[in-house]
C-alpha cells in the first residue's frame, strides 16, 4: 500500500492506495482517505496498515473517551465567576438579564476559541476569506433579508406557574410549560431585533437595528468581496462578530443571551456543484437524528457521515461535509465526541430562509440543545438583496452569469462553544481533591506558571528571566506565594498547561522542572529549551513529559 497526494482546487489531499493485478494489468485502488495534513496522513496510513495486518487490534474510527459526570449549568456559572472567567454584566447594580462580561481568564479563552476557529476556517484553507462587518447597517438590509417581517417569535406565559418563554408558531397548539407542564397563554408576537436611533437629532435620525446575525453583511458585501478577493466557486466568506437578540427570557447562563458573538460562514456554490471534499466524511461516525426518526419516535443512530449522505439521510454532500468539518474542529480541540449529534430540523421548525437545516447538537446538562446550525439557504438572500437594492448580485462562473447558492451556512455562537469546551474540560479529581480544567493547550488561557520553589533572590531572578522570555509569546503567570501544592492546585483549576519550578538545582545546572497538569508527572529540562518545548506542546499537541528525564516526586 502507498500514499498518494491529489491536488483539488489548490488543496492537497492524501489517500491510501493499493495496487491490484487484474488479468495482465495492475490497477491502483483507493483504500482510505487520509486527510489534508501530510504528517497526520502518514500516521493514519500506518494505523490502517497495522490494523489490516493485525485485525484483532482493530480500533474504532474515533475513540470514545470515558464520560466524566457533567456539572450543572448553575455550578459552571458559579465556577466561572469564582475563577474570573465570566461575570453577570453590571453586577454591582444587579446585572441585566442576558448580558455577561468576560473576566481576565474568560477573555483569553474566548479569544483563543475565535482564533482557532479563524485559523481552521480561513487561514488554513484557500477557499474561504473573512470580513468584519458593522453591527449597525442600513435598515434596508434587514427588510430585504426578511428579518423585519419574518423574524418573529411568539411570547407565551404558563397559566399555572407564570413562567415566560418564546415558542415557534407551529408549537402554539401543542407546547406545554417547560417547568410544570402547564398550559401556555399566547401573549402575542414579537420581533427580537433591538432597534436604535442613528443620528443624534431626533427629527433627522433613522431607526435601525443591532444586527441579529452576522450573515447578512456577508450577503450585502458579497459582490465586493468576490471581486476583490478574486474568488471562484465554490468559496466561502467567514465572519466573527457580535449579534444581538432581545430574547424574551434569556437563560441558562451563556446559552441564551441577548448580546452574543457568532462565527459564521456562507459557503457559495454553483447550484449543481459537487463537494470535492466529501471523502473527508469517511472518517467521521456521528449520531444522526433525521426528521423521519424524530417523527417516528425512533432513537438517533450512530452512522458514518459518508454513509448518511450515500443513503440520502443527509441530502447534500455539502451538508455532510460541513457537519463533519465542524465536528472535527470541536473534537480536535478536546471536546468529547460522545456529546455530539447531528439533528435535522423538522419541516415545521425551519427558519423563513431555509430549504433544509441540520443542527450540531451538544449534550448539555439541560439536555440535547443546538450548538451550531447548518442551513441550506439556497439563493434566498442574494435574490432578496438583488431585488431590494436593484444591484446585480450575479457572478461569472464558467463564462455564464449565475446567482450562487448557499448550500450550507455553518453558524456557531462563540459562547456556546465556550460552554462546550468548559463542560468537557471540567474534571473533579478525587485524589487531588481539586478541580482540574483539562483544556486543550491551544485554548488554555494561561500556558504556563513559573514558580521559584522558595522566595529567595537566586531562584526568583531565574524565574523572572524565564517569565520575561516566555511572555514574548504566551500568557504566563509568575507565582511565588503559598505552598507549591497550593500553587499547583490553583493553576490546575484554571487550566494552566504546565508549572515550571525553579529549585535548588536550577542555579547550578540551568535546569527547571516542568509539571504536567493532567498527570502531575514532572520532568527536568534545560531552561534554554523551554520555549521550544512549549511551542511543541501548544502547537503540535506533544506531551511535556516527552522532553526530559522524569523527576521522582510526591504526586500533587
Ligand atoms: N445566520 C443563521 C443564524 O443566525 P441561528 O440558529 O439563529 O442561525 C446560529 O443562530 C447560532 O448562534 C446558534 O446555533 C447558536 O450557537 C448561536 N445563538 C443564537 N442565538 C443565541 C443566543 N440568544 N445566545 C447565545 N447564542 C446564540
Alpha-carbon torsion (111, 112, 115, 120), positive or negative: negative
Copy the grid coordinates of residue 400: 455564464
Distance 378 CA to ligand 1 centre (A): 19
Give residue 201's pLDDT: 95
Give residue 35's pLDDT: 73
Residue 181 has pLDDT above 80, yes or no: yes
Distance 439 CA to ligand 1 centre (A): 24
Give residue 400's pLDDT: 96
What contacts 183, CB < 8 A, 6 or more positions away? 158, 159, 160, 176, 177
Which of 194, 213, 356 has most ligand 1 atoms within 8 Å of its beta carbon, as the pocket-test mutant? 213
- pLDDT tens column, 263-316: 999 999 999 999 999 999 999 999 999 999 999 999 999 999 999 999 999 999
Q: Please state, in angstroms and rounded to a whole number, the distance separating the CA atoms of residues 314 and 358.
A: 9
Going from the C-alpha of 346 to that of each of 293, 316, 525, the distances in angstroms are 10, 16, 57
Residue 171 has pLDDT above 90, yes or no: no
Q: Report the pLDDT averaged over residues 242-257.
A: 95
Please list the residues that pair with 326 across neighbouring strands: none
What share of the chain has pLDDT > 70, as a percent? 91
Ligand 1 in contact with 413 (CB < 6 A)?
yes
Ligand 1 in contact with 257 (CB < 6 A)?
yes
Q: Please state, in angstroms and rounded to a whole number, the distance separating the CA atoms of residues 452 and 450.
A: 7
In this structure, what is the dihedral angle of CA atoms 343, 345, 346, 348, given to the nearest 10 degrees? 160
Give residue 247's pLDDT: 93
Q: Please state, in angstroms and rounded to a whole number, the distance separating the CA atoms of residues 57 and 504.
A: 46
What contacts 409, CB < 8 A, 6 or more positions away? 215, 264, 265, 266, 267, 373, 374, 375, 376, 377
How many of the other CB atoms lie within 10 Å of CB of 22?
Answer: 8
Give residue 389's pLDDT: 97
Of all protein residues, whose CA lies closest to atom 21 belonging to ligand 1? 256
- pLDDT tens column, 49-78: 665 655 444 334 444 445 567 899 999 999
DSSP 8-state secondary structure symbol assigned to residue 89: T
- pLDDT tens column, 354-379: 889 999 999 999 999 999 999 999 99
Ligand 1 in contact with 127 (CB < 6 A)?
no
Give residue 26's pLDDT: 56
User: What H or E segment, with its residue span, contains residue 444?
Assistant: none
What contacts 330, CB < 8 A, 6 or more positions away? 340, 360, 417, 420
Copy the grid coordinates of residue 45: 496510513
Residue 32 has pLDDT above 80, yes or no: no
Rounded to a whole number of angstroms, the distance between the first and last alpha carbons of the chain is: 47
CB-based contact 86:100 (threshold 8 Å): yes
Give residue 265's pLDDT: 98
Give residue 556's pLDDT: 45
Q: Please state, in angstroms and rounded to a whole number, the distance separating the CA atoms of residues 49 and 2.
A: 10
Higher pLDDT residue, 166 or 104? 104
Residue 130 has pLDDT above 80, yes or no: yes
Distance 412 CA to ligand 1 centre (A): 6
What contacts 52, CB < 8 A, 6 or more positions away? none
Give residue 68's pLDDT: 62
Q: Share the mean pLDDT of the chain.
A: 91
Q: Report the pLDDT averaged over residues 169-190.
A: 88
What share of the chain has pLDDT > 90, as a percent? 80
Going from the C-alpha of 140 to that of each of 49, 137, 144, 148, 153, the distances in angstroms are 58, 8, 6, 9, 21
- Provide the pLDDT confidence category of residue 9 given band limits of 50, 70 and 90: low
Half-sphere exposure of 221 (CA within 13 A, CB side): 20
pTM, whole model, 2 decimals? 0.88
Higher pLDDT residue, 138 or 14? 138
DSSP 8-state secondary structure symbol assigned to residue 425: H
Q: Report the pLDDT averaged over residues 514-519.
A: 97
Distance 292 CA to ligand 1 centre (A): 24
Give residue 29's pLDDT: 63
Amino acid at each position: 500500500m502507498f500514499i498518494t497526494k491529489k491536488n483539488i482546487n489548490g488543496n492537497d489531499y492524501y489517500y491510501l492506495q493499493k495496487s491490484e493485478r487484474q488479468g495482465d494489468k495492475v490497477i491502483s485502488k483507493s483504500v482510505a482517505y487520509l486527510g489534508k495534513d501530510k504528517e497526520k496522513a502518514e500516521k493514519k496510513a500506518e494505523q490502517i496498515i497495522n490494523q489490516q495486518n493485525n485485525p484483532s487490534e482493530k480500533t474504532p474510527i474515533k475513540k470514545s473517551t470515558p464520560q466524566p459526570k457533567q456539572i450543572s449549568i448553575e455550578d459552571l456559572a458559579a465556577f466561572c465567576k469564582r475563577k474570573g472567567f465570566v461575570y453577570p454584566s453590571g453586577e454591582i447594580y444587579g446585572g441585566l438579564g442576558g448580558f455577561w462580561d468576560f473576566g481576565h481568564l474568560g477573555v483569553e479563552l474566548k479569544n483563543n476559541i475565535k482564533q482557532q476557529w479563524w485559523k481552521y476556517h480561513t487561514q488554513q484553507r484557500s477557499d474561504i476569506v473573512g470580513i468584519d462587518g458593522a453591527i449597525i447597517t442600513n435598515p434596508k438590509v434587514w427588510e430585504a433579508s426578511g428579518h423585519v417581517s419574518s423574524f418573529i417569535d411568539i411570547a407565551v406565559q404558563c397559566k399555572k406557574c407564570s413562567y415566560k418563554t418564546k415558542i415557534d408558531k407551529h408549537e402554539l397548539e401543542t407546547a406545554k410549560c417547560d417547568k410544570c407542564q402547564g398550559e401556555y397563554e399566547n401573549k402575542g408576537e414579537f420581533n427580537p431585533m433591538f432597534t436604535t436611533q442613528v443620528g443624534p437629532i431626533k427629527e433627522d435620525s433613522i431607526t435601525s437595528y443591532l444586527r441579529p446575525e452576522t450573515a447578512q453583511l456577508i450577503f450585502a458585501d458579497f459582490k465586493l468581496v468576490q471581486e476583490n478577493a478574486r474568488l471562484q466557486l465554490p468559496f466561502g466568506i467567514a465572519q466573527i462578530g457580535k449579534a444581538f437578540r432581545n430574547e424574551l427570557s434569556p437563560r441558562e447562563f451563556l446559552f441564551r443571551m441577548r448580546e452574543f458573538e457568532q462565527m459564521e460562514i456562507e459557503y457559495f456554490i454553483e447550484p449543481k456543484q459537487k463537494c470535492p471534499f466529501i471523502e473527508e466524511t469517511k472518517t467521521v461516525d456521528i449520531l444522526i437524528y433525521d426528521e423521519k426518526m424524530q417523527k417516528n419516535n425512533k432513537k438517533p443512530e450512530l452512522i458514518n457521515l459518508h454513509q448518511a449522505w450515500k443513503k440520502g439521510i443527509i441530502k447534500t454532500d455539502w451538508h455532510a461535509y460541513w457537519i463533519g468539518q465542524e465536528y472535527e474542529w470541536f473534537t480536535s480541540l478536546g471536546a468529547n465526541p460522545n456529546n455530539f449529534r447531528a439533528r435535522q430540523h423538522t419541516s415545521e421548525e425551519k427558519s423563513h430562509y431555509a430549504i433544509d437545516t441540520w443542527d450540531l447538537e451538544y449534550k448539555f446538562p439541560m439536555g440535547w440543545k443546538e450548538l451550531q446550525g447548518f442551513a441550506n439557504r439556497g439563493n434566498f438572500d442574494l435574490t432578496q438583496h438583488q431585488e431590494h437594492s436593484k444591484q446585480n448580485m450575479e457572478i461569472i462562473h464558467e463564462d455564464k452569469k449565475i446567482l450562487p447558492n448557499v448550500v450550507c451556512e455553518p453558524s456557531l455562537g462563540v459562547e456556546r462553544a465556550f460552554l462546550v469546551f468548559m463542560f468537557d474540560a471540567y474534571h473533579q479529581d478525587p485524589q487531588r481533591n481539586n478541580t482540574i480544567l483539562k483544556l486543550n493547550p491551544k485554548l488554555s488561557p494561561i500556558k504556563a506558571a513559573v514558580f521559584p520553589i522558595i522566595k529567595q533572590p537566586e531562584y526568583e531572578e531565574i524565574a523572572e528571566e524565564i517569565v520575561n522570555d516566555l511572555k514574548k509569546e504566551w500568557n504566563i503567570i509568575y507565582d511565588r506565594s503559598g505552598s507549591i501544592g497550593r500553587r499547583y492546585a490553583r493553576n490546575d483549576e484554571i487550566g494552566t498547561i504546565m508549572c515550571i519550578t525553579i529549585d535548588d538545582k536550577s542555579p547550578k545546572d540551568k535546569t527547571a522542572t516542568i509539571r504536567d497538569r493532567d498527570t502531575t508527572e514532572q520532568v527536568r529540562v534545560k531552561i534554554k529549551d523551554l520555549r521550544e518545548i512549549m511551542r511543541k506542546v501548544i502547537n503540535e499537541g506533544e506531551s511535556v513529559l516527552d522532553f526530559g528525564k522524569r523527576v521522582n516526586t510526591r504526586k500533587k
